[in-house]
Structure 1
Amino acid sequence: MKRVLLFLVLFFCVRSVLSEPIALPELHRRVTDLTGTLRSEEISSLEEKLKNLEERKGSQVAILVLPTTGEETIEQYSIRLAEKWKVGRKSVADGVIFLVAKNDRKMRFEVGRGLEGALPDVLCKRIQIEYVRPLFKEGKYYEGIEIGIEKIIGLIEGEPLPEPTHTTFHETSRGKIGLTGYFLLLVGVGIFVGIFFRRMFSFIKAGAAAGIGYWAGGLLGISFWTMLPILIVFFVILLVLYSTWNSGMGGGSSWGSWGGYGGGSSWGSSSGGDSGWSGGGGDFGGGGSSSDW
């Protein structure tokens, strides 16, 4: 009797572990391949297409290739993924996830609420069956994903969506960055040079940094009288900063005390991997289509 009870306990424990949902991957880029199916140049090509779409229309499209969704159906896994990644703009909900479960031989387009008109279930199913499935059956996964993405992009292009917003700074005229820009340039140059003169007297360090700033300003064609008040303020700020640094570090600190070298840390220690792309807060309601091959 004890053996039977022990067996039942072990059975339910194992079953519980096996039925645990597969962990969702983090979103760091537009194309995530957990199977090693796609070559690096193929991933780059797909990401370039999706990046160009986002710049033109604002819509975000992500691709995930994974071995299996486990005990979950691809629909269950896909909606969990969509709720975590939140691909698409928050106010527009114009995100799409192309999910491929390679070992399960299943695929799904998870469509954001804002694109359900442009990408209705029937069109998603048609793209999968007529274009993607034949290529997947031949083992041509990149070609299948590429044509599926191209069809999705084509439908999104025809949808009237709000214009994308760009926060990246673009120079409108070469060399015309304004007085504030010049001042920030001088500060940056001065601080950089000041690091290399840290063991010198504070007065000499500040003067040297200001001198470098004056030289840089001269190369940019700024007049002396325009730069003079900036340099005076710049000199005083650096003098105070360097004095503070020296007093706080005992006047004899080394590179290691900055934490950049010799202090057990490195330049990339806090980056946490490639986190240059993320979802914009998109919303999903289960729209899309699933197919096998």
Structure 2
Amino acid sequence: MKRIFLSLLCLCIGPLFADPISIPKLEHRVTDLTGTLTSEQTDSLESKLKAFEKRKGSQVVIVMIPTTGEEPIEDYSIRLAEQWKIGRKKIGDGFIFLIAKNDRKMRFEVGTGLEGAVTDFSSKRIQTEFVRPLFKEGKYFEGIETGIDKVIGLIDGETLPEPETHTGYESSEEEDNFGYYIGALVVIGILAGIFLRKMFSILQAGAATYAGYWFGGILGFSLETMLPLLVIFFVLLCIIYIAAKSSGGSGGNWSSGSWSSWSSGSSDWGSSSSSDSSSDSFSGGGGDFSGGGSSSDW
């Protein structure tokens, strides 16, 4: 009798000490850890959600995992929401479509800013009337796409702040200053050529200008910030050269040989970075969730 009691006790409290299923890393708008969706289907959903975020500002993600383990899907979903922070900060316009395939359960986790548009009632209705029948037939992509389309339709009816656009240097004043920026860099390039025995030609200065402009834009530097930094860089370069020459070093050989090797060596770095530019990095915007939404099975 005592052994039976202990066995029942272990069955009851065992799940309380089980390790929870880990939250996957956020890298894309569509995360399928079950291998259910084809690459074409994933790309199609990814493009749809990306275009919607660009147009509306709201972040919508799809997460498909095998199971939530002993943890209820509601608890796992809110853990995921709190870690990923989908949606814009202080707006809370994030939405998560979570599917635990082996558990045959799904969950809509709705950000605080969308609870008026995607209510618990409408979430339940979309799941039961549109998604569940397709999931029962094994049509997961069709069910996900249908559910997402319904949710997007609801969010479209909500008045939300316009999405921010970042296209490098946005203000017209900075664009006007760009001409002065180009001129200043060309002058710096000519002066550097005089001091460094033409290590930098005007053409090379122009190439450096173009690369510096876009690289600085990626890092978020303004023109006013980049120009002094570049001046300091050239001044330090001149000082190093003069110091090396005064100590008996051959500045001419260094300048001619190092620039050619620098140019040829940079090709490897450029080719490796080109693959990174093709990838679409994605992260949450700081949105918050309070547990709104609905769960269903199929």
State the TM-score, normalized to the length of structure 2: 0.69
Alpha-carbon contact 2:34-2:64 (below 8 Å) kept: yes
Q: CA deviation at 1:140?
A: 0.8
Specify which structure has the higher proportion of helix: 2
**Residue equivalent to 2:297:** 292
What's the secondary structure of 1:96's corresponding residue?
strand
1:43-69 residue CA offsets vs partner (Å, 9 max, x unmatched): 111111111221222111011001111
Alpha-carbon contact 1:202-1:239 (below 8 Å) kept: no
Number of aligned residues = 249
What's the secondary structure of 1:72's corresponding residue?
coil
Q: CA deviation at 1:87?
A: 0.5
Provide the rounded CA distance (Å) in 2 between the counterparts of 1:128 and 1:280: 26
Alpha-carbon contact 1:186-1:213 (below 8 Å) kept: no
Q: CA deviation at 1:105?
A: 0.6
Q: CA deviation at 1:276?
A: 1.6
What's the secondary structure of 1:79's corresponding residue?
helix
Provide the rounded CA distance (Å) in 2 between the counterparts of 1:238 and 1:286: 52
Is the counterpart of residue 240 in structure 1 residue 238 in structure 2? no
Q: CA deviation at 1:214?
A: 6.9
Q: CA deviation at 1:260?
A: 6.9
Provide the rounded CA distance (Å) in 2 between the counterparts of 1:35 and 1:182: 54
2:181 partner letter: F
Is the counterpart of residue 203 in structure 1 residue 231 in structure 2? no
Segment of structure 1 superposing worse, 158-167 or 137-146: 158-167
Return closer, same or farther for 1:133/1:184 CA change in 2, 3 Å cut-off. Answer: farther
**Residue equivalent to 2:132:** 133
Provide the rounded CA distance (Å) in 2 between the counterparts of 1:172 and 1:280: 23
**Residue equivalent to 2:283:** 278
Gaps of 5+ in 1: 218-232
RMSD of aligned alpha carbons: 4.3
Matches within 5 A, 1:145-224: 145-169=144-168, 177-181=175-179, 183-184=181-182, 187=185, 202-206=196-200, 208=201, 210-213=202-205
**Residue equivalent to 2:47:** 48
Provide the rounded CA distance (Å) in 2 between the counterparts of 1:132 and 1:106: 11
Alpha-carbon contact 1:186-1:216 (below 8 Å) kept: no
What's the secondary structure of 1:43's corresponding residue?
helix
Return closer, same or farther for 1:202/1:170 CA change in 2, 3 Å cut-off. Answer: closer
Alpha-carbon contact 2:105-2:295 (below 8 Å) kept: yes
Provide the rounded CA distance (Å) in 1 between the counterparts of 2:204 and 2:267: 25
Gaps of 5+ in 2: 210-227
Provide the rounded CA distance (Å) in 2 between the counterparts of 1:292 and 1:236: 64
**Residue equivalent to 1:88:** 87
Alpha-carbon contact 2:92-2:288 (below 8 Å) kept: yes
Provide the rounded CA distance (Å) in 1 between the counterparts of 2:21 and 2:207: 59
Q: CA deviation at 1:91?
A: 1.4
What's the secondary structure of 2:198's corresponding residue?
helix
State the TM-score, normalized to the length of structure 1: 0.70
1:115 partner letter: L
Return closer, same or farther for 1:180/1:160 CA change in 2, 3 Å cut-off. Answer: same
Provide the rounded CA distance (Å) in 2 between the counterparts of 1:142 and 1:107: 14
Return closer, same or farther for 1:168/1:262 CA change in 2, 3 Å cut-off. Answer: closer
1:183 partner letter: Y
